[in-house]
Amino acid sequence: MGALAEILVSSAQHAAALTTRAGINGSVLNFSDGEALQAIAAVTQHRPPLIVQERFFAVTPRGAALVNRIKADPALADTEIRVLEHDSDYSRVIPRRRSAAAPEAAPAEPDGAPPTAGLSPDAGEPALDAEGTRIAPRLPVRAGAELKLDGSPVTLVDLSETGAQVISQQALKPNHQYQADLTSETETLQFEARVVWANFEAPEGTAQYRAGLAFGHADPARIDRFCAALPQA
C-alpha cells in the first residue's frame, strides 16, 4: 500500500474534495465524524504520514480529541495533522508541541461533554472515551455572558474556546446547526454552533434540554479573550 492518509469529514460528500485539496495521490482511508474511535485505531496501526480533517469537524469534541490523542503518541510524532475546508482555501497544520522527553499534559474534560467523559483510569495519556470526546478546558460561566441560538436565548452552563454546555427550554437535536450570538456588555461574537449531544430533563416538572455545542468557523483566540474579560463571580 502506498502513502496512507486518514481523512475525517463531517459528511461523506466532502471526502473527494479534501483529498484533492490535500494533494494526496496514495491510498486513503475515509472516516465520518462519528467514527473517531475507528479512525484512531487505523492511525495507530498504519502510522500514516498525513491526517486530514475537515475544519468544522476539527473543532468538535471528537475532532479535538483525535488531535490530542495523536499528539500524545510518540509513535505518531512524524504524522502531520492538517485542517482544511472543502470549499475554501483555508489550510492549517496543527503544531506539535511535545517531545518524547517532555510529554504534553493530558487535556481536561471536554467542553460541553456529559459528566461521564474523563481520562482513562490507568494512564496519564489522553484516550478517547466511548463517545470519542476530549477537548479544551471549560470554565463555568460567570455573569455577563449571553448566548442565543437562531435568536433564541439559552442558559450557558460552561464555555470554552471551542464549545459550550447549555440548557434550553426549546428542543435541541444532535447534529442540528444554529447561528450563535455570544454577547457580553462590550462585545458580540457570531459563529456557527452544532449540537453534539442533547439530553431531555424535567427538574421539578419543568421540561428542558441540556446540550453540548461545538463551535464552527469561530476564532478560538477571540472566544478565549471573551471569557477572560467576563467579570469575576
Of the listed ranges 1-5, 26-30, 207-211, the least confidently predicted one is 1-5
> Is residue 104's pLDDT more than 50?
no
The pLDDT mean for the chain works out to 74
Compare 37 and 45 and report the one with higher pLDDT: 45
Q: How would residue 189 be classed by pLDDT, with cut points 50, 70 and 90?
A: very high
Q: What is the mean pLDDT of residues 25-37?
A: 77
Of the listed ranges 6-10, 19-23, 166-170, the least confidently predicted one is 6-10
> Is residue 140's pLDDT more than 80?
no
> Is residue 134's pLDDT more than 60?
no
Q: How would residue 138 be classed by pLDDT, with cut points 50, 70 and 90?
A: low
Of the listed ranges 125-139, 143-157, 179-193, 199-213, the least confidently predicted one is 125-139
Q: What is the mean pLDDT of residues 13-35?
A: 80
Got the DSSP string for the chain? ---EEEEEESSGGGHHHHHHHHT--SEEEEEETT-HHHHHHHHHHH--SEEEEEHHHHTSHHHHHHHHHHHH-GGGTT-EEEEE-TTS--EEEPPP--BTTBPPPPP-SPTT--TT----TT-SS----TT----S--EE--TT-EEEETTEEEEEEEE-SSEEEEEESS---TT-EEEEEEE-SS-EEEEEEEEEEEEEE-GGG--EEEEEEEEES--HHHHHHHHHHSPP-
> Is residue 121's pLDDT more than 50?
no
- State residue 182's pLDDT score: 93
Q: Is the pTM of this model over 0.85?
A: no
Compare 119 and 104 and report the one with higher pLDDT: 104
Domains (range + CATH), the chain: 4-93 (3.40.50.2300), 139-229 (2.40.10.220)
- State residue 10's pLDDT score: 57
Q: How would residue 123 be classed by pLDDT, with cut points 50, 70 and 90?
A: very low
Q: Name the range with the highest mean pLDDT among 79-83, 143-147, 149-153.
A: 149-153
